Amino acid sequence: MGSTHHLGRAAGVPRAGLALAVAAVLALPLAAGCSAAGKSGGSGGSGDADRAAAPANLDELAARTGCTLAGRRKAQQLQQGNCRNSRGQYVLVSFDSDQDMTSWLNEAKPWGGTYLVGTRWVAVSTPATLQSLRKDLGGHILSGEMHGMSHS
């Protein structure tokens, strides 16, 4: 039986383990290129996009963005899968509750990155890819904190 990665804060999961799991999710967009500086995005037509950001499971998110999931993982509080299509590479994460998503984002944002955030789901990628996905998924774009590391 393979190892299971718990990306949410579960009883007995050390904070360092959660931080490593968050880093693994962020590795895809960081490998694809440096993300925008720490501005909160969400520009342009947020009303319709925010209303369309209804809860969705991983399969529904993938179908709405036209990708076939790869590297799918399931933990107690979330499901995660990697996508690649003509829009770019991105990670989709769906959560069991709003609290699980908030905890995950609080752990992820210090690592930097850019996030498209809906109701109990997050997409992680470059700002350009997330702007494209926002047309199908809705939501709003958040940027993580800059952590002083130069990406060149």
Instruction: For the chain, 152 residues long, give each residue's pLDDT as a single digit of tens.
Output: 443 333 334 444 444 434 434 444 444 443 333 333 333 344 444 444 444 577 899 999 999 999 999 999 999 899 999 999 999 999 999 999 999 999 999 999 999 999 999 999 999 999 999 999 999 999 999 998 865 554 44
Range of the domain at 87: 15-32+40-143
Q: Is residue 5 part of a domain?
A: no
Closest CA to 78 of 1, 4, 2: 4
| 3 within domain boundaries | no
Q: Is residue 105 a part of any domain in this protein? A: yes
- Whether 50 maps to a domain, the answer reads yes
Neighbouring C-alpha atoms within 13 Å toward the C-beta of 108: 28
Residue closest to 144 by CA, chosen among 47, 130, 59: 130
Q: Is residue 9 part of a domain?
A: no
83: Cα within 13 Å, side-chain hemisphere = 28
Domain count, the chain: 1
